[in-house]
Amino acid sequence: MSTAPEATLPALALPTLAGARCTLRPLRPTDAPSLQRHADDPAVAFNLFDGFPQPYTLAHAEAWCTHEHLDPRFAHVLGVVVERDEVAGCIGVTPQEGLWGASAVVGYWLGRAYWGRGVMTEALTMISGWAWTALPRTARLWMPIYARNGASQAVARKAGYRFEGRMELAVLKAGHAIDAVQYGLTRPQATPGDWPVPTLAP
């Protein structure tokens, strides 16, 4: 499945979205030290896809916060900011193309110090609401989650996402084939079964 953004979409100015528990905003080079501190945790990497560095060095964080997160493969990425303007994680929306062009994939992670506080549920709710306005051709948001990751599934459910199925031995992680589950959310007021995708103005 492609993870490239919709080729017909113009570049988007990333927003700042403020909630009660966190703020989502574009990453800055100065975020690297706090991001590295939270990302350099095997418990965080355990439920993230292969490719997430571990150990997560300051050099990794500096590269991510300056230019790597802007790679079109990752589309729209925001930092999850908690108290004292500390970036403790990231959340992103990646529109698909071709056959899956009506969908966008959501991904997120959060430092262990902030698990269980409702931070990521709020972050997922905020970015999902933003996506419906910012990505008018997207009819569905969805996320693949490791089946063993009950906490992330709870976040998805609390943010309104629905369980869509289990994919046995579908994901390669650290040399093992493991089960994944899928959660999805469709655009409010979109007609189930058939929804006309709007044409973007030239």
Domain boundaries defined on the chain? 17-138
Rounded-to-integer distance, Cα 28 and Cα 62, Å = 9
Q: What is the average pLDDT across 5-23?
A: 76
Q: What is the pLDDT of residues 54-74, one digit of tens each?
A: 999 999 999 999 999 999 989
Is the pLDDT at 105 greater than 70? The verdict is yes
CA angle 89, 93, 95 (to 5 degrees): 160
Highest mean pLDDT (candidates 4-8, 48-52, 106-110):
106-110
Rounded-to-integer distance, Cα 22 and Cα 89, Å = 11
Is the pLDDT at 177 greater than 60? The verdict is yes
Is the pLDDT at 195 greater than 60? The verdict is yes
pLDDT band at 12 (very low <50, low <70, confident <90, very high): confident
Look at 7-11, 88-92, 146-150 and tell me which has the smallest mean pLDDT: 7-11
pLDDT band at 11 (very low <50, low <70, confident <90, very high): low
Is the pLDDT at 1 greater than 70? The verdict is no
50 and 21 in contact (C-beta within 8 Å)? no
17-138 topology per CATH = Aminopeptidase (3.40.630)
Instruction: Encode burial over 34-59: b for 16+ CB neighbours within 10 A, e otherwise.
Output: bbbbbbbbeebbebbeeeebbebeee
Q: Which tokens hold the place of 10?
A: 């113009």
Residues in a beta bridge with 23:
18, 81
Q: Given this model, what pLDDT does residue 7 score?
A: 41
Amino acid at site 153: Q
Rounded-to-integer distance, Cα 202 and Cα 121, Å = 36
Phi and psi at residue 137, to the nearest 5°:
-90, 0
Rounded-to-integer distance, Cα 32 and Cα 67, Å = 12
pLDDT band at 9 (very low <50, low <70, confident <90, very high): very low
Is the pLDDT at 85 greater than 90? The verdict is yes
Return all residues near 18 (Cβ < 8 A) that are at least 6 apart. none
3-class secondary-structure state, position 7: coil
Q: What is the average pLDDT across 108-134?
A: 97
Cα torsion 172, 39, 5, 68: sign: negative
pLDDT band at 202 (very low <50, low <70, confident <90, very high): low
Is the pLDDT at 8 greater than 90? The verdict is no
- CB neighbour class for 18 (10 Å; exposed up to 12, middle 13-18, buried from 19): exposed
Residue with token string 């549920």? 121
pLDDT band at 25 (very low <50, low <70, confident <90, very high): very high
